Amino acid sequence: MSDKTIVVITGANTGIGYEAIKAFLTATKPYQIFVGGRSPEKVESAIGSFGSTGIHTLIPFQLDLLSDESIGAAYAKISSEVDHIDVLINNAGAATNTPTSRATLLQDYNVNVAGTYVVTETFLPLLIKSSNPRLLFLTSGLSSQEEAGQKDSPRYVNPPAGWPKPPGPMFLSYRTSKTALNMIMIDFDRLLKNDGVKVWCISPGMLATNLGGDKELLKRLGAEDPYLGGDFIKNVVEGARDSDTGKVVRRDEIQRW
């Protein structure tokens, strides 16, 4: 049996997932990381960009959250190589920055909620075999219903009376899908208590990634460097927030529902 901590991370060829791998590669204890992404070529390129990985091992796999067939094939590949996994990091996601419609709601829910749920359910047989299983879901500070309803929130805007209204804050499809993802986390935390699985939603803060398609806009709005999210994920995996399981955790606090 491998002495390495075995991690499966989705959507890891870019953004916060990529930064998480960079953080894991600095660890003094060895990791075996299955690096997932929709494009095998982009995953291979991301892995190649790290150069020597030292005591750690990076293994690519293809994963499309919109395809149950792809999810099943990913599980078949990984389960043929290891008899358990220690950590499942549901990092892959979508953010539609256009006016809200049925299409945008369905797209973001299909990826962020349905796809993530199917991945988790599929990989649980491997995860619960670990002696220290950990399950992470990447959510967003925008998913907090309590904060969104506060009058000092930048998303709390009172437009003039009448209809139609002027365009409001974008990312409603993304925000509501991440709120739903928080509920998915709560339910898995309940279901997996007796299996010893530690479960969290990770709310990394506003980081300058390509999620939503405009990294430069995010920087102008004050987004921080994505490496902070990668370090945060590593810290949670290595035990920094073990007292906060079943919660949405930020780097410095618990996020309000």
Q: What is the distance between the alpha carbons of residues 181 and 83, in angstroms, rounded to a whole number?
A: 28
Q: What distances in angstroms separate CA 230 from CA 12, 166, 235, one per listed residue?
A: 11, 37, 9
pLDDT at 30 over 90: yes
What burial class does residue 242 get, using C-beta atoms within 10 Å of its C-beta: 0-12 exposed, 13-18 middle, 19+ buried? exposed
Residue tagged active-site, from 75, 143, 174, 177: 174
What are the tens digits of pLDDT across the range 55-99?
999 999 999 999 999 999 999 999 999 999 999 999 999 988 788
User: Using alpha carbons only, what angle is made at residue 89 by residues 87 and 220, rounded to the nearest 5 degrees?
Assistant: 145
pLDDT at 249 over 80: yes
Q: What is the distance between the alpha carbons of residues 191 and 169, in angstroms, rounded to a whole number?
A: 35
| 29 catalytically annotated | no
The answer to whether 6 touches 133, Cβ cutoff 8 Å, is no
Residue tagged active-site, from 31, 70, 143, 178: 178
Q: Mean of the pLDDT values across residues 24-37?
A: 97
| 140 catalytically annotated | yes
Higher pLDDT, 227 or 29: 29
pLDDT at 1 over 50: no
- Quote the percentage of the chain above a pLDDT of 90: 77
- Supply the pTM of this predicted model: 0.93
Residue tagged active-site, from 130, 140, 173, 177: 140
CATH code assigned to 5-153+164-249: 3.40.50.720
| 77 catalytically annotated | no
Q: What is the distance between the alpha carbons of residues 176 and 188, in angstroms, rounded to a whole number?
A: 19
